[in-house]
Amino acid sequence: MRERLLILFIIVLASAFFGEMKVNPLGGSFRFSLGIAAFFFGLLWFQSVPVLLTGFLTGTFILGFRIGLDVLIDSRTWIESLQVHLPSTFYYFSFSFLIYIIRARKYLEFPLLVGLIGASVDFLSNLVELQLRLAFTDLPPLTWESVFMLLFFGALRSFFVVGLYNSVSIRQVRAVGEVRQQELERLRMINTELYEEAFYLRKSMTHLEEITRESYQLYKRLRTEEHKESPTALTIAEHVHEVKKDSQRMLAGLSNLMNQEGLSPQLPVSELCGLVIRANQKYAEMLDKEIHFSWSCQMSLSTSQIYALLSVLNNLVANAVEAISKTGNIELIAGLEHRDIVFHIRDSGPGISQEEREWVFQPGYTTKYDAQGNSSTGIGLTHARGIVQSLHGTLCILHDREAMTHFEVRIPTDQLLRKEVVS
């Protein structure tokens, strides 16, 4: 209620203020002003306010406002001023009444129609005002030239308001779209982290299944030999089986989280590369590093393996960000080679020696330490290679003549078109 009253106050005040920006083309006190433009825009933009009440309050306030100005500035009596400005009040009354009867707000999706409605209502309201002025003053009768002028100014004000309304609406829609896009990107990056956890949880479940089977086989052999530890083997098999069931429940929960509404099941590879670059630009800024990022995608292909690719590429580019000490360059290039999609990730960091190129893919191997001297987990590249291999692809380090660290990810095209598995 308070917000609606504030909007009403703004519309009334703006109409009165812009009403003083005027011309008098017909002579006398009849005016063309920007007040009706502000009033019409307020009715279109703030659809929560009632049309008739807004018109009544605006017309009444403008009458009092103009009488006050005349008494204070022009030293007119309030009765003289009332006769001069009362017709303007009926202009706003008739304008809001006609807008209400026609239900102009229903046609906002059709700007041309709204402009024509506004011009017609403006013209008719001017006729109402002029008829009242003929009764109160000695205004000369209408001529065809005056009628044409009324139509011209009515169309000018109306289409100006409709154009302004649509311009502001488009900017608002774009702003909402940008926020929505940022939210979708954030969800995808969250889902990428969930994908990594789900990927390795699924691998662990396979191992648990093998352990359960071997424990049960051990139990059967021990029972055949009437060994006293056979119940222990059965207990181990049962416990491992319970752990596997718990893992299945966790995997189902992760899968439900990953299936976010509004996220497309497919994404163009070019958009995916852009998402990786934007995320790591923010990461570099957070680390206070000046890194120039460049990327190109020489294909118009969409993939359903969104989280798998995001996980791999984001891991490699994030590693490049961390490897660069303060300033440097990172580039990501995607293209087609025969039946494979190939990604090249290069950075100007310190590089990786020939001896370390296979060790870096081993679990636990790391060259990164935090400020307290604690090492990182050393499983990032292991994760990335595991995901690439699950897609029948390869992840390797190439020798680059420019002394840049150069990772190549090569995945068969058909693997990136298969359905994403999240459960």
Question: 3-state SS of 135-149?
Answer: HHCCCCCCCHHHHHH
Q: Do 345 and 392 have their domain in common?
A: yes
What pLDDT sits at residue 138? 57
Domain match, 407 and 279 both: yes
Q: Residue 315 burial by CB count (10 A; 0-12/13-18/19+): exposed, middle or buried?
A: buried
pLDDT digits (tens, 9 = 90+) for 248-282: 777 676 666 656 545 566 788 888 888 889 888 98
pLDDT at 421: 45
Confidence tier at 295 by pLDDT (50, 70, 90): very high
Q: Which of 199, 232, 258 is the last residue of a domain?
A: 258
Please compute the mean of the pLDDT values over residues 20-48 and round it to a whole number. Answer: 73
pLDDT score of 364 more than 60:
no
Partners of 23 in beta bridges: 32
Do 75 and 115 lie in one domain? The reply is yes
- Position 171 in a domain: no
Residues 403 and 283 in one domain: yes
Span 345-362, mean pLDDT? Answer: 75
Residue at 411 is within a domain: yes
Residue 155 resides in a domain: no
- Quote the number of domains for the chain: 3
Residue 308 lies in a domain: yes
What per-residue confidence (pLDDT) applies to 376? 46
The answer as to whether 302 is a domain residue is yes
Going from the C-alpha of 63 to that of each of 15, 122, 416, the distances in angstroms are 12, 19, 70
> Is 118 domain-assigned?
yes
One DSSP character per residue, 18-38 reads HTTSEE-TTSTT--EESHHHH
CATH number at residue 382: 3.30.565.10
Q: Which of 113, 142, 171 is the last residue of a domain?
A: 142
**What is the domain range of residue 205?**
186-258
Whether 273 and 408 map to the same domain: the answer is yes
Judgement on whether residues 253 and 274 belong to the same structural domain of the protein: no
pLDDT tens digits for 306-326? 778 888 898 899 889 988 888
281 plus 404 within the same structural domain? yes
Give, rounded to a whole angstrom, the gap between the first and last alpha carbons of the chain.
49
Are 239 and 347 within one domain?
no
The distance from CA 21 to its chain's CA centroid, rounded to whole angstroms, is 39
Mean pLDDT of the chain: 79
Q: Is the predicted pLDDT of residue 44 greater than 60, yes or no?
A: yes
- What is the reported pLDDT for 410? 93
- The pLDDT of residue 97 is 92
Q: Could you tell me if residue 373 is left (phi over 0), alpha (psi between -120 and 50 degrees) or otherwise beta?
A: left
Of the residues 258, 284, 305, which one is the last residue of a structural domain? Answer: 258
Identify the top-confidence range among 152-156, 331-335, 350-354. Answer: 331-335
pLDDT band at 331 (very low <50, low <70, confident <90, very high): very high
Specify the pLDDT at position 375: 41
At 210, the pLDDT band (50, 70, 90 cuts) reads: confident
Same-domain check for residues 122 and 11: yes
* 147-161, 198-212, 278-292, 301-315, range with the lowest pLDDT: 198-212
Asked if the structure places residue 9 within a domain, the reply is yes
> Cα–Cα distance between 157 and 118 in angstroms, integer?
8
Residue, of 10 and 246, whose pLDDT is higher: 10
CB 44 within 8 A of CB 105: yes
Asked if 301 and 385 sit in the same domain, the reply is yes
pLDDT band at 368 (very low <50, low <70, confident <90, very high): low
* pLDDT value, residue 205: 72
Q: Is the pLDDT of residue 419 over 60?
A: no
Please check whether residue 373 lies inside any domain of the structure.
yes
In single-letter form, the type of residue at position 220 comes to: K
Q: pLDDT per residue over 156-199, tens digit each?
A: 888 888 888 888 888 888 887 777 777 777 777 776 666 666 65
Angle, vertex CA 140, rays to CA 137 and CA 143, nearest 5: 145
Q: Which of 207-211, 270-274, 341-345, 359-363 has the lowest mean pLDDT?
A: 359-363
| Residues 72, 44 within the same domain | yes
Q: Are 132 and 90 in contact (CB under 8 A)?
A: yes
Distance CA 108, CA 166 (A): 9
193 shares a domain with 99 = no
Mean pLDDT of 26-35: 62
